[in-house]
A and B are shown apart, each in its own frame.
Chain A
């Protein structure tokens, strides 16, 4: 069931006021977030004032918007008027507060949604585990001894932990898809360049995207429609037998747990297809993505690295400095590989409508044993959790992160990839998977309002 529809229906019918709903969520975060550490700041005054305005509109018989009174959280790299945008850093925490909301935040607020909290992230979004030197680590809501994933770990954990109906994050190399999978929620990396980045602190311009985390596919589509400016309509039905779907093999099935591959098989069977294709040279594509990210991040931060290097988390700083030193010939070669890969993917999408691949190779790694397997060998989860997401960031394609619920097991996630600007197809397929009980978010049950 759509939590967003439930909230807006209750507020519109005056079963609850928006102020009651917002107060409830603020209290719940205060009580339940500490062991997860997903929230960095509560926006009490702003949230309660916005809620009073929604209640006032309803009392006057005016339309409060499609998201009337729905609380949400914001990865701390989106500008919020009157708040300092820190991007999870100490360096930016001394900046002046933002003069206005980021464009995406403004659209959500115009639709009646209410930002109630800023959320934890890896410093400057450079990481896959949300281990922040200044705010601490965000823990997985389903097992506190495990990673929530990153860099939008606070966003995924707060939604999976049942503390927020939805949250915003960003995805450069997998920062929506990895935490969405490990925390068991829906997420989408939209088509590169399709959503406004105005008022969003950047990381690597060639890959940066923003997107929502939600509890249901219906909610995800609704939020996407609001932020993209599309008029909200129900997902168009998909005829499974007509869908041209292929599983990504090779790189995308190596070191992947059997039960994840079995779930992909189940989906292929549902759609009556057994096609598996292999994208060539993915190792080089991922490497090119890694180099471009390091170089663009290094270039962006160079003035700050010169002035205040000791203000950074050492791990972030050392990588950014090394990125700033990368020879331009390497950056340009990586860009050539990106161009080739985009052309290659365009050819693939002449034959197929959608591709399916794992988002992660296993459940969330343990914080005390932070490894994932690469070529059969244990490697650093901090570096390699994005092994299946990072290459696809080179493609510009929209990617839906699909949560797979397994009883008494931790959640896992899959990626559904479509050609650029075909998010609607992904939402339609997501709806089919949810309806067939293959996909389902894992949300911690909290006290409902009485």
Chain B
């Protein structure tokens, strides 16, 4: 994701939970959100196998 776009998304999400992200934390939170975004994609692309009894 582009940085500005990422940050807009982070701001929208934080607004939805009434969390104000201080300016000082914007870069760090955006970076971590991008990482979790990638990890989320990985698990959503994963089809959970059936367990053989």
Which residues of A come within 8 Å of B, CB atoms? 280-281, 283-284, 287-288, 290-291, 294, 302, 305-306, 309-310, 314-315, 317-319, 321-327, 329-330, 333-334, 336-337, 340, 343-344, 347
Contacts and interface: CB of A to CB of B under 8 A. Distances in A.
B3 interface: no
A302 B21 CA distance: 12
Nearest to A317: B25
B21 A284 contact: no
A173 to B, nearest CB: 14
Given A318-B29, A318-B32, A321-B19, A291 B46 contact: no
Given A284-B46, A325-B17, A291 B22 contact: no
A288 B28 CA distance: 21
Given A290-B39, A314-B24, 18 more contacts: A281-B46, A284-B42, A284-B43, A288-B43, A291-B36, A291-B40, A294-B32, A309-B25, A315-B28, A318-B25, A321-B25, A322-B36, A323-B32, A324-B19, A325-B13, A325-B17, A333-B43, A347-B52
B19 A330 contact: no
A399 to B, nearest CB: 22
Interface residues of B, number: 28
Interface string B1-41: 00000000010011001111110110011011101100110
Given A318-B31, A323-B36, A343-B51, A337 B22 contact: no
Interface of B: 10, 13-14, 17-22, 24-25, 28-29, 31-33, 35-36, 39-40, 42-44, 46, 48-49, 51-52
A314 B40 contact: no
Contacts of B42: 283-284, 287
Nearest to A306: B19
B44 A287 contact: no
B49 A281 contact: yes
Contact of B48 (A306, A322, A326, A340): A340
A321 B40 CA distance: 16
A318 B29 CA distance: 5
Contact of A305 (B19, B31, B32, B46): B19
